Amino acid sequence: MTETQAATAQTVAGTAIPPLLSVRGLRRTFAGLAAVDAVSFDVAPGEVVSIIGPNGSGKTTTLNLVTGAIPADAGEILLDGRRIDRLDPARIAEAGIARTFQNGRVFGALSVADNVAVGLHTTLRAGRPARRLSTWFLLRWIPLLAELAVALVPTRAARREQARIEAAVAAELDRFGQRLAPRRDDFAYTLSYANRRRTEIARALAPRPRLLVLDEPTAGMNPSETAEVLDQLLQLKAEGQAILLVEHKIDLVMTVSDRVVVIDGGRVISEGRPDAVRRDPLVAEAYLGRRRGKA
């Protein structure tokens, strides 16, 4: 444990800051096929790291492992030096990792605003009394019933908290300008594909996570819409938001990333600054293809 910590502390681009997220020797097989194999990388605080690679190379699986959606076969994941690879997704979310999904998973039966509000669940204090007990056998009923009680008869603190949530939701929706704000009370299932993605990003961003994990956030958007997302990502980066990004749109990746990790067949084949990675012949061959490889 201490050894790995010492090892990871050095790896972040020559600085002394310990990494925010550190992934060591991660592995996951499906029916004998190693989808992710000995993958290691770090994300420093405030850093934007992108994972790119051909289809089926293990990017989404890596994100699923980092966020606890599926368990790893081997390897370690540390957030702020703390092991999180044995935790369930809720604990990991509470530890400060928020994510979106490749195909989009909005809560169809909730309005756009409510979708975002649900993202703030981990930040609730007054609304969820005694929440520290919620991982204990049987005792978890105490916070559950307390939450129910506060929901029915809100305390003053809970009401103030609720007002804070509404404000946070409005701010989050405004981030997307006129795209989401006019539809804030519409059910999410009536949104078009790209607007569902935006709703999901807003939901993930709302709790101000320590690490934001995005799986192809611009899939299904045209170039100008992609440029819009790029601006938003750059702004987040300027605000110091650490991001772990999976994306196929290479121009966006090159512009926004501090570092790029390239994986193929579940293994890291290249890693470094965007321009260096782009020049790597291995990457051009495995990933970019002729039209862009030359560019």
Partner 1 sequence: MLDTLIAGLLHGNAYALVAVGISLIFGVTNVVNFAHMSVFGLGAMCAWFFIADLRWPFWATLAVVVAVTGLTGLLINLLVVRPLARYLPIAALLATYAVAQILDSVSQWVFGPRVRPFPEVLPTDDLHIGLMRFGTSDVVMLALTIAVMAALGLYLKFGKSGRAIRATSQDPEAALQMGIPVGRIQHLSFVIASALGGVAGVFVALYTGTVSPTSGATAGLTAFVAATLGGLGSIPGAVIGGFVLGVAEAFGVSLFGGSVDDIIMFAILILVLLVRPGGLLGRVPVLAPEPMTGTFLGRGRPIRLGRWGLVAVLAVGGVVIPVLGSRTFLTIGTQVLIYAIIGAGFTVTAGQSGVIALGQAGPIALGAYASALLALLAHWPFWVSLPVGGLVAAVGASVLGSALWRVKGHYISIATLGMGIVTVAILRVAEPLTRGVYGLYGIPTPHIGGLALDTPLAFYLIDFLVLVGTLAVVVRLRSSHLGRVMSAVGSDEVAAYASGIRVRDYKALAFAVSAFFAGVGGALLAHQYTYIDPDLFGLTMSLLVLTIVVLGGVNVPFGAVIGSIVLIGALEVFRVTPQLRVILYGLALILVVRFRPGGAWVRRA
Partner 2 sequence: MTTLLRLADVNVYYGAFHVLRDVRLEVGAGEIVSLLGGNASGKSTTMKTILGLTRLRSGTITFDGVPVEHRSTPARVRAGIASVPEARRVFPQLTVDENLLAGAYTRKDRAGVAEDLERMREHFPRLAERRRQEAGTLSGGEQQMLAFARALMSRPRLICMDEPTMGLAPRLVDQVLDEIARLNRELGVAVLLVEQQAELALSIASRGYVLATGEIAVQGTADELLRDPRIQEAYLGRSTA
Report the DSSP pairing between strands 267-272 and 242-246: unpaired
Token pair 């103030």: residue: 160
Q: Is 198 in the site for partner 1 (CB under 8 A)?
A: no
Closer residue to partner 2, CB minimum distance, 61 or 67: 61
Please report how many Cα atoms fall inside a 13 Å half-sphere around the Cα of residue 134, on the Cβ side: 16
- CB of 179 vs partner 2, minimal distance in Å: 8
3-state helix, strand, coil in the chain (%, to 5): 45, 20, 35
Query: Of the listed pieces 24-32, 166-174, 191-199, 278-286, which binds Mg ion according to CB under 5 A?
Result: 191-199
Among 50, 60, 64, 195, binds Mg ion (CB under 5 A): 60
Q: Is 28 left (phi over 0), alpha (psi -120 to 50) or beta?
A: beta
State in angstroms the smallest separation of the CB of 14 from Mg ion: 31
Tokens of 77: 């994941």
d(CA 294, CA 198): 32
Q: Applying CB under 8 A, which part among 94-102, 252-260, 263-271, 281-289 lies near partner 1?
A: 94-102
Number of neighbouring beta carbons within 10 Å of residue 130: 14
Q: Does 231 bind partner 1 (CB under 8 A)?
A: no
Based on CB atoms, which residue is closest to ligand ATP, 51 or 158?
51
Q: Which is nearer to partner 2, 130 or 221 (CB)?
A: 221
Q: Work out how close the CB of 42 gets to partner 1 at its nearest, in angstroms, rounded to a whole number.
A: 22
Should residue 31 be labelled a site residue for partner 1 when binding is judged by CB under 8 A?
Answer: no
With beta carbons less than 8 A apart as the criterion, state whether 175 and 205 touch: yes
CA distances from 189 to 98, 112, 197 (A): 22, 9, 12
Determine the size of the site formed for partner 1 (CB under 8 A). Answer: 50
Count of residues near partner 2 by CB under 8 A: 39
- 8 or 62: whose CB is closer to ligand ATP? 62
* 270 φ, ψ (degrees, to nearest 5): -165, 150
Evaluate whether 177 touches 202 at the Cβ level (below 8 Å).
no
Looking at residues 229 to 268 of the shown chain, list those that interact with partner 2 (rule: CB under 8 A): 230, 248, 250
Task: Mark the segment that binds partner 2 (CB under 8 A) among 56-64, 76-84, 105-113, 141-149.
Answer: 56-64
Find out whether 41 and 75 touch, Cβ atoms under 8 Å: no
In terms of Cα–Cα distance, which of 268, 265, 266, 262 is closest to 283? 262
Q: Using CB under 6 A, list all residues that contact ligand ATP.
A: 30-31, 33, 35, 53, 55-61, 102, 190-194, 220
Q: Give contact residues for partner 1 (rule: CB under 8 A).
A: 30, 64, 67, 69-70, 88-90, 93-94, 98-99, 101-110, 114-115, 117-119, 121-122, 124, 127, 134, 140, 144-145, 147-148, 151-152, 154, 162, 165, 187, 189-190, 193, 196, 200, 203, 207
